[in-house]
C-alpha cells in the first residue's frame, strides 16, 4: 500500500549559467585574429507540472531536493555552451503551491506548468565587447546563479463527490461496491486513515470521481480524531454525499455533528449541494428506523452562529442487499452531473 502524503516541502536549486569565453581567432595572414569567445549556456530551469498520473506526493518523500544542471562555459570559435537540462516535477491535480506562506499557484488543470526555479543566464563571450578602439577585448562575463527556492506543497483532492460520515458508517463499503477502488473494510472505526479515490458511472456514459474522506467525529475541526488533516480535501469536491450510520445513534444528532464540523472548518462548505443516505437497511430494525425518520422530513437543523440546514430528502440503502442502491446511485449521478467540474 502506497503512502498517502498530502503535504511536503521541496528545495530547489536551478542551474547556474555558464561563463563566457575569452578567445581569439588564429588564422594565417590575420594578425592577432579577432575575438571569437562564445557565450555560456543558460542553467537548467525547474518546473512543476500537474499530472493525473500521480495522486499524492509519495513519490517525492525521499527525493525532495532537486538541482538542475549548470550551463556549460562558452568556447572558442563562437561556440555557445550547452544549456543545462530542465527538470520537470510531476505533481497531482489539486496541488496548492506556497512560498513564504503565500499561495503562488494552484495546479488544477492537466499538464498545467509552473516555472518553479529559473536557471541563471549564461555569461557573454569576448566577441560581444569588441569596439573600434579595442578590437581585441580580453573581457567576458560570468554566468549568473540559478534561483534557489523552497516551496510548501499542500494537496486538496479534486473530486466530483466527497463521501462524508462517521467512522464505520459504511463509506468504504459503498466505495468498494460502487467504484474501482479497493479501500480497507472492517467492522471497526477508522479503517480509512487516508482518502480513497474511485470512479463510478450510473449509465456507463458519464464517469465521476468520488473521494472517501476519513471519518469525521465531533471535534474534528479542532483536531480530534484524524483532525482537520483531511477536512481540507472536502473543499475541492463539487458536491457532498453524507452516509449516516443506520446502526448508530440518533440520525439527527449524526447530521447535526457532521454539518457543524464542516461549518466550523469552512462555512462555505454548507453551500455545496448534498445528498443524504442512511446505510445498513439490510438490518430490519434499521430499515424501520430509517423509514420513520424519512416520514418526519423536512427537518431544519439549527447549527452554531445562526446557521441552518434543511433536510428534505434521505435515501436509505444497503451495500450488501443492494436495496435502495440503484436509487442512491441515480440521484447521486444527477447531483454530480449538475455540479461536475465546478471546483
DSSP assignment of 207-262 equals: -EEEEEPPPP-TTGGGT-TTGGGTGGGGGGEEEEEEEE-TTSS-HHHHHHHHHHHH
Stretch 261-275: mean pLDDT, rounded? Answer: 86
Q: What is the pLDDT of residue 1?
A: 38
Comparing 263 with 289, which gets the higher pLDDT? Answer: 289
- The whole-angstrom separation of Cα 46 and Cα 54 is 18
- Looking at the structure, do residues 21 and 150 belong to the same domain, yes or no? yes
Q: φ and ψ at 277, to 5 degrees?
A: -130, 165
Q: What is the pLDDT of residue 73?
A: 97
Residues 126-142 pLDDT 10s: 999 988 888 889 999 99
Residue 14 near residue 85, CB atoms below 8 Å: no
- pLDDT of residue 184 exceeding 60, the answer is no
Q: What is the CATH number of the domain that holds 33?
A: 2.70.210.12
Helices (H), the chain: 171-178, 251-265, 284-295, 325-339
- Looking at the structure, do residues 126 and 235 belong to the same domain, yes or no? no
Stretch 326-333: mean pLDDT, rounded? Answer: 93
Q: What is the pLDDT of residue 185?
A: 41
- Looking at the structure, do residues 180 and 279 belong to the same domain, yes or no? yes
Domain boundary, last residue among 95, 121, 155: 155
- Looking at the structure, do residues 72 and 219 belong to the same domain, yes or no? no
- The whole-angstrom separation of Cα 12 and Cα 52 is 23
- Which residue range(s) make up the domain with 260? 159-339
Residue 81 near residue 75, CB atoms below 8 Å: yes
- Looking at the structure, do residues 75 and 145 belong to the same domain, yes or no? yes
Please, which pLDDT band fits residue 191 given cuts at 50, 70 and 90?
very low
Q: What is the pLDDT of residue 67?
A: 98
Q: What value does the mean pLDDT of the chain take?
A: 86
Cis-peptide into 69, omega within 30 deg: no
Q: What is the CATH number of the domain that holds 206?
A: 3.40.50.300
- Looking at the structure, do residues 273 and 197 belong to the same domain, yes or no? yes
Domain boundary, last residue among 131, 155, 179: 155
- pLDDT of residue 316 exceeding 60, the answer is yes
Please, which pLDDT band fits residue 283 given cuts at 50, 70 and 90?
very high
Inside any domain, residue 207: yes
Q: What is the pLDDT of residue 171?
A: 85
Q: What is the pLDDT of residue 287?
A: 96
- Looking at the structure, do residues 136 and 191 belong to the same domain, yes or no? no
Q: What is the pLDDT of residue 249?
A: 84
Inside any domain, residue 2: no
Comparing 293 with 164, which gets the higher pLDDT? Answer: 293
Q: What is the pLDDT of residue 222?
A: 42
Q: What is the pLDDT of residue 188?
A: 38
Inside any domain, residue 301: yes
- pLDDT of residue 15 exceeding 90, the answer is yes
- Looking at the structure, do residues 134 and 275 belong to the same domain, yes or no? no
Number of domains into which the chain is organized: 2
Q: What is the pLDDT of residue 62?
A: 92
- The whole-angstrom separation of Cα 120 and Cα 141 is 13
- pLDDT of residue 343 exceeding 70, the answer is no
Domain boundary, last residue among 121, 139, 155: 155
Specify which residues 50 forms β-bridges with: 91
Stretch 73-90: mean pLDDT, rounded? Answer: 96
Inside any domain, residue 32: yes
Comparing 303 with 340, which gets the higher pLDDT? Answer: 303
Residues 105-120 pLDDT 10s: 999 999 999 999 999 9
- Percentage of residues in the chain having pLDDT higher than 70: 86
Comparing 39 with 257, which gets the higher pLDDT? Answer: 39
Residues 211-233 pLDDT 10s: 887 655 444 344 443 445 566 77
- Looking at the structure, do residues 186 and 202 belong to the same domain, yes or no? yes
- pLDDT of residue 59 exceeding 70, the answer is yes
- pLDDT of residue 122 exceeding 50, the answer is yes
Inside any domain, residue 1: no
- Looking at the structure, do residues 167 and 311 belong to the same domain, yes or no? yes
- pLDDT of residue 74 exceeding 90, the answer is yes
Stretch 17-25: mean pLDDT, rounded? Answer: 94
Inside any domain, residue 135: yes
- Looking at the structure, do residues 225 and 325 belong to the same domain, yes or no? yes
Length of the chain: 343
Q: Who's near 45: CB < 8 A, 6+ residues apart?
A: 14, 15, 68, 86, 87, 115, 117, 118, 119
- Looking at the structure, do residues 146 and 218 belong to the same domain, yes or no? no
Inside any domain, residue 192: yes
Please, which pLDDT band fits residue 299 given cuts at 50, 70 and 90?
very high
Amino acid at each position: 500500500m502506497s503512502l498517502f502524503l498530502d503535504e511536503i516541502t521541496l528545495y530547489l536549486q536551478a542551474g547556474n549559467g555558464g561563463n563566457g569565453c575569452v578567445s581569439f581567432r588564429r588564422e594565417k595572414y590575420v594578425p592577432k585574429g579577432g575575438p571569437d569567445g562564445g557565450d555560456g549556456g543558460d542553467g537548467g530551469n525547474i518546473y512543476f507540472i500537474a499530472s493525473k498520473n500521480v495522486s499524492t506526493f509519495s513519490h517525492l518523500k525521499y527525493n525532495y531536493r532537486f538541482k538542475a544542471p549548470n550551463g556549460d562555459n562558452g568556447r572558442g570559435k563562437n561556440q555557445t555552451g550547452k544549456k543545462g537540462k530542465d527538470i520537470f516535477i510531476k505533481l497531482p491535480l489539486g496541488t496548492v503551491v506556497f512560498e513564504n506562506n503565500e499561495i503562488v499557484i494552484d495546479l488544477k488543470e492537466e499538464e498545467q506548468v509552473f516555472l518553479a526555479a529559473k536557471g541563471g543566464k549564461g555569461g557573454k563571450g569576448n566577441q560581444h565587447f569588441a569596439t573600434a578602439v579595442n578590437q581585441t577585448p580580453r573581457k567576458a562575463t560570468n554566468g549568473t546563479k540559478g534561483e534557489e527556492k523552497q516551496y510548501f506543497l499542500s494537496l486538496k483532492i479534486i473530486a466530483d463527490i466527497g463521501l462524508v460520515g462517521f467512522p464505520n458508517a459504511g463509506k468504504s463499503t459503498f466505495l468498494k461496491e460502487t467504484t474501482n477502488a479497493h479501500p480497507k473494510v472492517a467492522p471497526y472505526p477508522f479503517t480509512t486513515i487516508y482518502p480513497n479515490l474511485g470512479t463510478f458511472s450510473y449509465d456507463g456514459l458519464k464517469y465521476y470521481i468520488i473521494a472517501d474522506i476519513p471519518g469525521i467525529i465531533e471535534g474534528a475541526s479542532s483536531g480530534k480524531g484524524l483532525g482537520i488533516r483531511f477536512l481540507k480535501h472536502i473543499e475541492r469536491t463539487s458536491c457532498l454525499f453524507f452516509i449516516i450510520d443506520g446502526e448508530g445513534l440518533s440520525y439527527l444528532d449524526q447530521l447535526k455533528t457532521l454539518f457543524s464540523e464542516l461549518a466550523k472548518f469552512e462555512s462555505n462548505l454548507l453551500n455545496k449541494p448534498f445528498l443524504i443516505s442512511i446505510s445498513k437497511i439490510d438490518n430490519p430494525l434499521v430499515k424501520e428506523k430509517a423509514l420513520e425518520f424519512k416520514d418526519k422530513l423536512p427537518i431544519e437543523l439549527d447549527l452554531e452562529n445562526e446557521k441552518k440546514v434543511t433536510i428534505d430528502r434521505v435515501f436509505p440503502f444497503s451495500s450488501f442487499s443492494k436495496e435502495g442502491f440503484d436509487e442512491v446511485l441515480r440521484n447521486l449521478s444527477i447531483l454530480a452531473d449538475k455540479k461536475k467540474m465546478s471546483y
